[in-house]
Amino acid sequence: MKALIVDDEPLARLELRRLLAAFTWVQIVGEASNIDEARVRIETLAPDLTFLDVQMPGGTGFDLLAQLDRPPRVVFTTAYDHYAVKAFEVSALDYLLKPIEPERLAAALDKIHTSMSSRAMANDEPLEQLFVRDGPRCWFLPLREVSLFVAEGNYVRLYWGKERPVLGRSLATVEEKLDAKSFFRANRRQIVNLEFVQSVRLGSGGRLLAKLRDGSDVEISRRQARLFRARMTV
């Protein structure tokens, strides 16, 4: 498993390296001392797991996650316990307090090793989850649970249960990351999750209206209607 260490304290990075040396299946592929360096390392090295400090120069670990299209699995490492609730709100795998105890690290890695898939994550695989920061709130959203993506200028509003968070990405950027087997561009402003389509009826001008599970309608443009029919009859 490829791991990245992100911490602004050189001694903290050195100590974590020393502790991780006991786990032969963990390969440390790099380090970063701030969120700008970390973003570059994550995008180029594609680590399976990132040990992430919370407070760093230039921004927090949460700020870093908000900047990434493909956030890695994260274990937070910090001297402050008051970030724990927020860490688990963004689906962190664990939360280790400094100084990190070897037994506590071993327990965390054992749990991670058991739960993580043995195959490496490939950059060209469709995105399975998305980190979204909307105001003070943060989520790791499983994309299979998002019913609809709606463009609002250069942003995208996600329909996730009763939540409507806004993502600071364009709809075109989001579409590139989605699984084409599960998501369909209904019109210029909307992408629909096909798993949430309950029924379809004919609209005006050759358009289709797809009714979602929550009762809302999504208009499928005339240009996309033929592709939609072909997709749904396969």
For 211-224, what is each residue's pLDDT tens digit? 999 999 999 988 88
Structure tokens at 199: 């029924």
Q: Which stretches of the chain score pLDDT less than 50?
A: 117-123
Last residue within a domain, chosen from 115, 141, 157: 115
Instruction: Check residue 8 and give its pLDDT.
Output: 95
Q: Looking at the structure, tell me whether residues 135 and 109 fall in a common domain.
A: no
Q: What is the pTM of this model?
A: 0.53
Instruction: Check residue 119 and give its pLDDT.
Output: 40
The answer to whether position 124 is within a domain reads no
Instruction: Check residue 118 and give its pLDDT.
Output: 38
CATH of the domain at 143: 2.40.50.1020
Complete DSSP assignment for 158-201: EEETTB--EESS-HHHHHHHS-TTTEEE-SSSEEEEGGGEEEEE
Last residue within a domain, chosen from 115, 146, 165: 115
Instruction: Check residue 217 and give its pLDDT.
Output: 94
Q: Looking at the structure, tell me whether residues 110 and 140 fall in a common domain.
A: no
Structural domain harbouring 202: 131-232
Q: Looking at the structure, tell me whether residues 164 and 223 fall in a common domain.
A: yes
Tell me how many domains the chain contains.
2
Q: Looking at the structure, tell me whether residues 110 and 153 fall in a common domain.
A: no
User: CA torsion sign, 47 to 49 to 55 to 60?
Assistant: positive
Integer Cα distance of 203 and 38 in angstroms: 49
Residue in the structure block whose two tokens are 């970390």: 38
The answer to whether position 100 is within a domain reads yes
Structure tokens at 232: 């749904």
Nearest to 60 by CA among 6, 140, 129: 6
SS3 47: coil
CATH of the domain at 72: 3.40.50.2300
Angle at 2 between CA 110 and CA 51, to 5 degrees: 70
Nearest to 6 by CA among 77, 68, 96: 77
The answer to whether position 125 is within a domain reads no
124, 178 Cβ separation under 8 angstroms? no
Which residues touch 188 (CB under 8 Å, ≥6 apart)?
A: 151, 221
Instruction: Check residue 123 and give its pLDDT.
Output: 45
Instruction: Check residue 204 and give its pLDDT.
Output: 78
The answer to whether position 51 is within a domain reads yes
The answer to whether position 120 is within a domain reads no
Instruction: Check residue 150 and give its pLDDT.
Output: 96
The answer to whether position 121 is within a domain reads no
Nearest to 62 by CA among 160, 114, 131, 113: 131
Q: Looking at the structure, tell me whether residues 60 and 146 fall in a common domain.
A: no
Instruction: Check residue 51 and give its pLDDT.
Output: 97
The answer to whether position 57 is within a domain reads yes
